Amino acid sequence: MSAAQPDPVEPDGPGAVSAVAAFRRAEDLLERRRPLDALKALAPLLEAEPEAASVHLLAARAYLASAQFQRAEAGFLRVLELDPADHYARFALGRTLQRQSRLAEARAQLRMAVVMDPRPEYQEALGEVSANIAVRSDRAGGTGA
């Protein structure tokens, strides 16, 4: 878009349109199961918008989808640093920790997500992690946590 054309999305300037377009492109790529391409599309936004929780959330989702669990974890933690009330980031962090077999930590995050928003998928994830902890505890001869 040239500087002479008005910005149809954000009246604050022409750069806003390209940022919105890049974000939407990354969302589309992630939906089409192309997380690495989504991360490439997000790279300039992560630099330009370090305080944008939505950008970090999308990047963390892409990291999770590409099995980059430590980066996903860092991304979801950054989202929660910027927006502690983001129940989805809390849920996704729990799932990320679960994928790393860090079940007690996962359960804590999933419990918080359920308290924040008792969606069925959050409750199911919490039940799954709690059951896995109980099975591991039984195998180890423990009492469960």
Same domain, 95 and 76: no
Q: At which of 82, 100, 124 does a domain end? A: 82
Q: Could you give the CA distance from residue 113 to residue 47 in angstroms, rounded to a whole number?
A: 28
Same domain, 78 and 106: no
Same domain, 57 and 104: no
Amino acid at 92: A
Q: Could you give the CA distance from residue 57 to residue 18 in angstroms, rounded to a whole number?
A: 19
Q: Could you give the CA distance from residue 115 to residue 26 in angstroms, rounded to a whole number?
A: 30
Q: Give me the helices (H) in 103-143, please.
A: 103-116, 120-140
Count of domains forming the chain? 2
Same domain, 22 and 73: yes
Same domain, 18 and 42: yes
Domain extent for 60: 1-82
Percent of the chain with pLDDT over 70: 86
pLDDT in tens, 119-143: 999 999 999 999 999 999 989 886 5
Q: At which of 34, 59, 82 does a domain end? A: 82
More confident residue, 76 or 19: 76
Same domain, 124 and 74: no
Same domain, 115 and 68: no
Same domain, 77 and 122: no
- Helix then strand then coil, % of the chain, to nearest 5: 75, 0, 25
Q: Could you give the CA distance from residue 12 to residue 110 in angstroms, rounded to a whole number?
A: 38
Same domain, 3 and 69: yes
**Is the model's pTM score more than 0.75?**
yes
pLDDT in tens, 44-82: 999 999 999 999 999 999 999 999 999 999 999 999 999
